[in-house]
Chains A and B, each alone.
Chain A
């Protein structure tokens, strides 16, 4: 079964274009420098439209997660993580942790992670996270 994919909107297109090119793009308020997510053309703290897109470091820590033992049909048959990561720049985002066993022992809160992109269609690559190397 084909994986359920996001449909970008004009306000989020840059994020998915970035992901396709292997870049995790966030936005920030130009006056305060505060980063935010998910994408929108204004700062959710102040309402200012004076914002810019920037490339995030891709570094994060594991904030919280579950291991889904009843995967959705498009997600395969093995238990897998559904996680929220704390990005170095401040915002949090949902993702999957890959590149390690999907067990409580391997998935330790606050462990360092780095972004990897999984190409799932010609236009969509999903930002996933793996244990940080080095």
Chain B
């Protein structure tokens, strides 16, 4: 995409977050969408492009009374929204539409109007993974990690440290699900889920949603809030089966998506002021730091332990508290994007002073897909 040609002009999460038993999935999409439209000073009739995952963009458009000339139903898991941003930028630049609404809503905890989780027993995953007892992400996303730990000497304490540092960020965020400080010992004494993963190394399960509105950078100046420009984007996919990942110590989708985004943005790693790496589990920020090139393979554990990603560190990461402590409805990518936008607007609860460039990196499925968006608040 063309650098800085498109901007976020509306951004909001659902009114409530965490446990929302009185709103269904599509209701969460709509609540977030209406909040984002209010943020941008727009009505549904001003939107001519829609994108969402989980539900169909047809459902979204009809529910909100939108008649779009652009619809994107890309659904590759929790990073779908990063891909939606990327596709929306291309669509706006190509003149397919002018103003794109991207929504997420998920009743992950309360399961109101939520679809079931499962794979067709005739799919490759249904034939060659499901019979061995995989249940949900805690037994699949985690499978590569022992190989990663052996290869680079990563310990259970290193995984626990990721969760501890993110809780420190969460404590600064009034909307975080968990704010109380935790220690490495607390993490290592939390209930065993799937060895070597303990409960506090796994993400929350919550209800919530979020929405973004994008338009061309030329129009962006006319909106009530400070525009956040899209500087570069990337995406890739690898495999629907975690057992078939090429390399258990590194995600190919992360590497391809990250490199594409950095190349498009034309920035160096040292230019990055703020970083979001989708953390469904404690190992993901470690893989992300390495696969995006912030550190060399095997160095992420030390980088985190030395507090480079913590409050006051040189690369503040997951400043909302992340999927581990802030919220995680199932497809967390939208919340990572929301935090990047808040940081670029200068309104985040744990604001990184003077931040000008934010990298937001998502994962979909179990290392199945990836999307990266690099934002800037300067054109």
- Contact A64 B143, beta carbon cutoff 8 Å: yes
B127 to chain A: which residues have CB within 8 Å?
A: 6-9, 12, 16, 38
Q: Within residues 47 to 88 of chain A, which ones have a CB less than 8 A from any CB in chain B?
A: 63-72, 74-75, 79-80, 82-84
Which partner residue on chain B sits nearest A69 by CB separation? Answer: B192
Stretch with Cβ within 8 A of A (4 or more), from B240-248, B287-295, B320-328: B240-248
B138 to chain A: which residues have CB within 8 Å?
A: 70
Stretch with Cβ within 8 A of A (4 or more), from B22-30, B108-116, B193-201, B215-223: B193-201
Interface residues on A, range: 35 or more
B132 to chain A: which residues have CB within 8 Å?
A: 82-83, 94-96, 126
Total contacts A-B at CB 8 Å:
110
Q: A6-B126, A71-B133, A72-B135 are in contact. Are A92 and B143 (CB under 8 A)?
A: no
- Contact B128 A4, beta carbon cutoff 8 Å: no
- Contact A38 B143, beta carbon cutoff 8 Å: no
Q: Is A30 on the interface with B (CB-CB < 8 A)?
A: no
Max chain B C-beta neighbours (<10 A), residue from A3, A74, A92: A92
Max chain A C-beta neighbours (<10 A), residue from B130, B133, B145, B194: B133
Instruction: List 29 interface pairs A-B (beta carbons < 8 Å), by A numbering.
Output: A4-B121, A6-B122, A6-B126, A6-B128, A6-B130, A12-B124, A12-B127, A64-B144, A64-B146, A64-B147, A66-B142, A66-B143, A66-B197, A69-B191, A69-B195, A70-B194, A75-B133, A79-B192, A79-B195, A80-B133, A82-B134, A82-B139, A83-B143, A84-B144, A93-B128, A94-B129, A104-B195, A109-B146, A120-B131
- Contact A109 B150, beta carbon cutoff 8 Å: yes
Which 9 A/B pairs are nearest by Cβ-Cβ distance?
A6-B127, A64-B147, A94-B243, A67-B195, A7-B122, A66-B194, A75-B133, A7-B121, A69-B192
- Contact A93 B126, beta carbon cutoff 8 Å: no
Give B contacts to A, CB under 8 Å.
Answer: 120-122, 124, 126-135, 138-139, 142-147, 150, 191-197, 241, 243-244, 248
A100 to chain B: which residues have CB within 8 Å?
A: none
**Least Cβ–Cβ distance between B266 and chain A, in angstroms:** 34
Max chain A C-beta neighbours (<10 A), residue from B121, B132, B135: B132
**Least Cβ–Cβ distance between A107 and chain B, in angstroms:** 9
Q: How far is the CA of A9 from the CA of B128 in the complex (A)?
A: 12
**Least Cβ–Cβ distance between B202 and chain A, in angstroms:** 11
Q: Is A1 on the interface with B (CB-CB < 8 A)?
A: no
- Contact B244 A68, beta carbon cutoff 8 Å: no
Which partner residue on chain A sits nearest B129 by CB separation? Answer: A94
**Least Cβ–Cβ distance between A17 and chain B, in angstroms:** 13
Which partner residue on chain A sits nearest B119 by CB separation? Answer: A4
Q: Is A5 on the interface with B (CB-CB < 8 A)?
A: yes
A5 to chain B: which residues have CB within 8 Å?
A: 121, 131
Q: How far is the CA of A63 from the CA of B144 in the complex (A)?
A: 8
- Contact A92 B139, beta carbon cutoff 8 Å: no
**Least Cβ–Cβ distance between B105 and chain A, in angstroms:** 27
A104 to chain B: which residues have CB within 8 Å?
A: 195-196
Q: How far is the CA of A66 from the CA of B156 in the complex (A)?
A: 13
- Contact B143 A84, beta carbon cutoff 8 Å: yes
A126 to chain B: which residues have CB within 8 Å?
A: 131-132
Which partner residue on chain A sits nearest B128 by CB separation? Answer: A38
Which partner residue on chain A sits nearest B135 by CB separation? Answer: A72
Q: How far is the CA of A35 from the CA of B263 in the complex (A)?
A: 35
Q: Within residues 16 to 62 of chain A, which ones have a CB less than 8 A from any CB in chain B?
A: 16, 37-38
Q: How far is the CA of A64 from the CA of B195 in the complex (A)?
A: 11
A72 to chain B: which residues have CB within 8 Å?
A: 133-135
Q: Within residues 81 to 121 of chain A, which ones have a CB less than 8 A from any CB in chain B?
A: 82-84, 92-96, 104, 109, 120
A4 to chain B: which residues have CB within 8 Å?
A: 121, 130-131
**Least Cβ–Cβ distance between B197 and chain A, in angstroms:** 7
- Contact B121 A6, beta carbon cutoff 8 Å: yes
Max chain B C-beta neighbours (<10 A), residue from A4, A66, A96: A66
Contacts A3-B131, A67-B195, A96-B132 known; 17 new A-B pairs at CB < 8 A: A4-B131, A5-B121, A7-B127, A64-B144, A64-B145, A65-B146, A66-B196, A68-B194, A72-B133, A82-B132, A84-B248, A92-B243, A93-B128, A93-B243, A94-B241, A95-B132, A96-B133
Max chain A C-beta neighbours (<10 A), residue from B122, B129, B142, B146: B146
- Contact B195 A63, beta carbon cutoff 8 Å: no
The listed residue (A38, A68, A93) touching B133 by CB distance below 8 A is A68
